[in-house]
């Protein structure tokens, strides 16, 4: 059976990359090294976030971790990278201050949060498919309401007082009817 050297090289390369990803330690946090005896509560970690953003030292550390992860996963490039970096920092600060970092309840609450616009934007085919069902249901409801109204009117008509005391007889009018027409 012939071997395929280029394919073997590709498999080796892929396996090396996968192993390297699993074995490399995570990036170090931007904070004083363990050799320094600084009090972490008194000093902010080294990084982009600090007291000027209204964050506590622990929040600043969390924010820096989020920024590091975002920059690692989605690096900003291009002419507007500086502006997008400022927006990224603003979003991270808002999330940390708002208590949304590490809050799984917030994520569950946010699920399906776009309201009625999601179906209007993305579910047009589905909405067109179910549109006749809505019109049929509305027509059935109108028929049911009309039938109920007709029944109520008939019952009200039958409840009217009749000459001769019997229900269902002709109502008294000012016109004189000959006896043979009344039957």
In terms of phi and psi (left: phi > 0; alpha: psi -120 to 50; beta: otherwise), the region of 14 is alpha
pLDDT for residue 23: 59
Give a yes or no: residue 167 inside a domain.
no
- Distance from C-alpha of 76 to C-alpha of 70, rounded to nearest angstrom: 9
Q: pLDDT for 35-90, tens place per residue?
A: 443 444 457 888 999 889 999 999 999 999 999 999 999 999 999 999 999 999 99
Q: Are 119 and 127 in contact (CB under 8 A)?
A: yes
Given a cut of 90, whether residue 32 has pLDDT beyond it is: no
Give a yes or no: residue 39 inside a domain.
no
Give a yes or no: residue 89 inside a domain.
yes
pTM of the model: 0.41
Q: pLDDT for 83-120, tens place per residue?
A: 999 999 999 999 999 989 988 888 777 776 666 677 77
Give a yes or no: residue 171 inside a domain.
no
- Distance from C-alpha of 49 to C-alpha of 62, rounded to nearest angstrom: 10
Domain region containing 80: 48-99
- Which residues, 6 or more positions from 118, have their beta carbon under 8 angstroms from its beta carbon? 112
Give a yes or no: residue 109 inside a domain.
no
Q: Percentage of the chain surpassing pLDDT 90?
A: 31
Give a yes or no: residue 66 inside a domain.
yes
- Distance from C-alpha of 143 to C-alpha of 135, rounded to nearest angstrom: 12
Give a yes or no: residue 54 inside a domain.
yes
Q: Are 171 and 183 in contact (CB under 8 A)?
A: no
pLDDT for residue 39: 47
- Per the structure, the count of domains in the chain is 1
């Amino acid at each position: 059976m012939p071997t395929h050297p280029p394919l073997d090289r590709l498999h080796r390369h892929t396996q090396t990359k996968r192993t390297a990803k699993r074995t490399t330690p995570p990036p170090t946090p931007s904070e004083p090294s363990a050799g320094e005896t600084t009090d972490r509560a008194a000093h902010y970690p080294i990084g982009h976030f600090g007291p000027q953003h209204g964050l506590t030292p622990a929040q600043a550390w969390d924010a820096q971790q989020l920024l590091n992860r975002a920059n690692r996963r989605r690096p900003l490039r291009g002419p507007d990278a500086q502006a997008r970096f400022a927006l990224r920092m603003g979003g991270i600060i808002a999330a940390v201050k708002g208590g949304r970092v590490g809050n799984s309840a917030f994520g569950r609450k946010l699920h399906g949060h776009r309201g009625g616009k999601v179906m209007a934007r993305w579910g047009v085919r589905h909405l067109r498919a179910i549109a006749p069902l809505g019109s049929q249901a509305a027509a059935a409801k109108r028929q049911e309401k009309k039938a109920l109204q007709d029944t109520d009117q008939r019952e009200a008509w039958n409840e009217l007082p009749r000459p001769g005391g019997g229900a269902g007889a002709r109502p008294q009018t000012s016109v004189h009817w000959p006896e043979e027409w009344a039957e």
